[in-house]
Amino acid sequence: MHAKVKYAALAFSLLLSYSSCSNEEVIADNEIVKNGIQLRVAGVSENIRQYSELYAFNGQSPNLDYFNHMPLNIERTQEYLKMDMLVGKWNFVLVGCNEMDIRSLLKAPQFTFAKSDMPMWVTQPSGGLLPDVPEIRTALIDGLTIVKDQSHEATAVLDRNVAKVRLVLKDGVGFKLGGGHTFSLINVPTSLSWSGGLYPNKTNPTTTSIPMTKAATFHESEDQAGHQQSDTIDFIIPAHKSLSAGDISTHKISVGVKLITAGGTDYINEVEIPIVPQDNKILEISLIAKGGIEVKVDVKDWATVYSTNNIDLYTMTLSGNSGYIATYAMNMKQERNWWVTLEDPTNFEFVDESVTFGQKTVSPVNIQVRRKTAGAALSTKLNLFISGLDGSKEQYDITGLTILIP
């Protein structure tokens, strides 16, 4: 792995072709400007170039901010995204993700609602738990007029519409060493609107009774004998996109813990976090558990990780091939999210989809691949992605699998 991410926020320069119209000149409805928008994307990741999409909403009344269309005939190059554009005044929403293609996971905008009244993203429970969301990035570019024959330049920043919540037991007394403990986020927002805000609003967003829960491992404190500390657990959740200093969410989340004491009994507690998660920020929560639960909270910038080839980052090895199932052992050694996909999902499948996305706290894990019953192909590739590595992937060849006939 030797890709580098050279930016903490992705800035795109939008070149919009248009011309001023005289009073006598009439522009026909639905007239198209060839290459009416050019997004300069030199130096960004392949995922941003290939999978970012621009959505056009009405920029004036009637039906201000109602969805209108997606730009036409997109040409994607190393330097630019070029697309044909209808003339008119538009409010644009640019959506992308540096780590993966999220286009099929978005809720399609409707023509009959304003962008703030429509969900763009809804987190779906998986296996009885609420999963992390991808690092969704959005940029809002309002009030741009497309006509003909001239160029205009505007700048937008495509930054994260999510927050990272980082949990750690900083100091505990009386708990079992090793695994069996869990940390949970409770009252987590699940939805974002097409305006980047929490849906349906920043004060009372949609939530679910299903918590985000992850396993934690305890070890002896390095600072005090007889005290315990945990590894660090990261959660990624939707967060309100603040458009001004006063545009902030007031919705608070809670942290739940289920810990095992040294005597083998369960210790269960829940505490509300006094600071609201912010978009493109890390909310660091340190727990102190000594007869009760106290929290210390800090907000930090979420910078994109610079990465070079690092043999201590992870190991991914083929641990077995029965002829019917290929098994890979994934062991993430640093605090990174990772996920795997198949190059040919038409003919091959994962035995258990729930283990195809994880982080250090759920490693090592066995990932198993088999041919589908009707699968005709004889080989495929397993793609491994790791967050912060600029969309780069490692590939592993899978060959020699036959169909298991009961």
Question: Do 204 and 263 lie in a common domain?
Answer: yes
Residue 33: C-alpha distances to residues 76, 93, 202 (Å): 17, 19, 37
Residue 330 near residue 316 (C-beta atoms within 8 A): yes
Tell me which of 274, 301, 328 is where a domain ends.
Answer: 301
Same domain for 141 and 277, yes or no, is: no
- Domain boundary at 160, 195, 211, which? 160
- pLDDT at residue 93 in the model: 95
In a domain, 294, yes or no: yes
Task: Let me know if 288 is exposed, middle or buried by CB neighbors in 10 A (0-12, 13-18, 19+).
Answer: middle
Between β-strands 162-173 and 281-289, what pairing exists: parallel, antiparallel or unpaired? parallel
DSSP E strands in 147-204: the ranges are 150-160, 162-173, 178-186, 191-193
The answer on 345 and 236 residing in a single domain is no
- Is 83 found in the same domain as 22? yes
- Indicate if 179 and 155 belong to the same structural domain: no
Which of 362, 337, 378 has its CA nearest to residue 162? 337
> Is the domain of 156 the same as that of 17?
yes
Q: H or E stretch including 337?
A: none
121 within some domain: no
pLDDT of residue 339: 81
Q: Does 51 lie in the same domain as 142? A: yes
Spatial separation of the C-alpha atoms in residues 268 and 257, rounded to whole Å: 6
**For the chain, what is the domain count?**
3
Residue 318 lies in a domain: yes
> Do the beta carbons of residue 95 and residue 55 sit within 8 Å?
yes
How far apart CA 142 and CA 65 sit, in angstroms, is 9
- pLDDT at position 387 is 66
Number of residues that make up the chain: 406
Tell me, yes or no, whether 219 and 240 share the same domain: yes
In 3D space, the residue among 154, 155, 138, 135 whose CA is nearest the CA of residue 146 turns out to be 154
pLDDT value for 3: 23
Residues 173 and 285 in one domain: yes
Residues 329 and 361 in one domain: yes
Q: Do residues 148 and 193 share a domain?
A: no
Place of tokens 């209108």: 68
Does residue 289 lie within any of the structural domains?
yes
Does residue 104 belong to any structural domain of this protein?
no
Q: Is residue 345 part of a domain?
A: yes
Residue 128 in any domain: the answer is no
Give DSSP secondary structure letters for 312-330.
TSEEEEEEEE-SSEEEEEE
The token duo for 51 is 């999978």
Q: How far is CA 96 from CA 46, 192, 389, in A?
A: 11, 14, 16
- Residue 207, beta-bridge partner list: 189
Nearest to 398 by CA among 328, 340, 314: 328
Task: Please list the ranges in the chain whose pLDDT falls under 50.
Answer: 1-29, 305-311, 390-392
pLDDT number for residue 25 = 31
Do residues 240 and 338 both lie within one domain?
Answer: no
* Domain coverage including residue 265: 162-301
The burial class, CB within 10 Å (0-12 / 13-18 / 19+), for 302 is: buried
> Does a structural domain hold residue 92?
yes
Angle at 97 between CA 94 and CA 102, to 5 degrees: 90
Task: Please report the pLDDT score of residue 249 as a whole number.
Answer: 97
- Token representation of residue 382: 């397993």
Please report the pLDDT score of residue 243 as a whole number. Answer: 85
* Domain CATH for 364: 2.60.40
Q: Are strands 88-97 and 136-146 parallel, antiparallel or unpaired?
A: antiparallel
| Nearest C-alpha neighbor of 338 from the set 389, 296, 300, 294 | 389
Tell which of 301, 324, 348 closes a domain.
301
391-402 pLDDT per residue, tens: 446 788 888 788
Q: How many CB atoms lie within 10 A of CB 168?
A: 17
